[in-house]
Amino acid sequence: MGRAATPSIGLGNIGRKLSRTVGVAVTTTIAWVFGFATAGVLVYLAMGLYTGESMFASPILLLDPADVSRPVGLSFAGMTGAYIAVGTAAGVMLVLAMSMMFNSGMRKLGLLAMVGWSGLWAYNAVLMVIAGWKNGAWTGDQRVLAAALVLVAVVGCMLHRMIRCWRVRVSM
């Protein structure tokens, strides 16, 4: 006994394409918001270093001024640190543009760099959460915990975007 053929009008395929398009659009929006926000924070920190208002700057200190650790890759000191922060901000904007390119190799490089950049932020935030976790309870500021959760979610979005956009064939 065979199964009776069921009529198909192709809505399943359209639904999958629409779902994929919406997913990529949402994660791309998150990528651009994250990129602009982190670049803006770096330029703000660089201005403080350049004018001499501060000798050491880190975006983590904006979140928790009591933190005395030096975050990995997100610590800047002196005039040289100001230049490095501005260069990093420009690099983030370049990587965002690369992640949207038609050229497959450049797009893949941009996607990987955005995953790495968001991973660096999430790694430092998780280290702050670990440092604030004492005797089985959170003793730090609630903003730090919330920011760490958001940054881990951003890494997930960047990974999703990379997976979805890795093999996209662009045609004009």
Compute the residue count for the chain: 172
Question: Predicted confidence band at 130 (pLDDT cuts at 50, 70, 90)?
Answer: confident
Q: Answer whether residue 141 is part of any domain.
A: yes
Q: Does 14 fall in a domain?
A: no
Long-range contacts of 140-148 (CB under 8 A, 24+ apart): 140/64, 141/63, 141/64, 143/63, 143/64, 144/63, 144/64, 147/63, 148/122
- Dump pLDDT digits (tens) for 62-121: 766 666 667 788 889 889 999 999 999 999 999 999 999 988 899 999 999 999 999 999
Flag whether pLDDT at 9 surpasses 80.
no
Asked whether residue 81 is assigned to any structural domain, the reply reads yes
Tell me the C-alpha to C-alpha distance, in Å, between residue 43 and each of 49, 52, 72, 131: 10, 14, 18, 27
Is the model's pLDDT at 128 over the cut of 60?
A: yes
User: What's the structural domain count of the chain?
Assistant: 1
Structural domain contains residue 6 = no
Kindly state whether residue 86 falls inside one of the protein's structural domains: yes
101: containing domain = 21-165
| Residue 110 covered by a domain | yes
Concatenated DSSP letters for 65-93?
TT--S--TT--EEHHHHHHHHHHHHHHHH
State the DSSP H helix or E strand holding residue 138, giving kind and residue range, or none if neither: strand 137-138
Higher per-residue confidence, 63 vs 153: 153
- How far, CA to CA in Å, does 54 sit from each of 25, 87, 125, 155? 39, 19, 22, 30
pLDDT at 7: 55
**Tally of CA atoms within 13 A in the half-sphere of 14 that contains its CB:** 4
Give the Cα separation of 105 and 88 in Å (integer): 21
Instruction: Return the residue matching tokens 């700057």.
Output: 57
| Residue 16 maps to a domain | no
The predicted pLDDT at position 95 comes to 96
* Within-domain flag for 98: yes
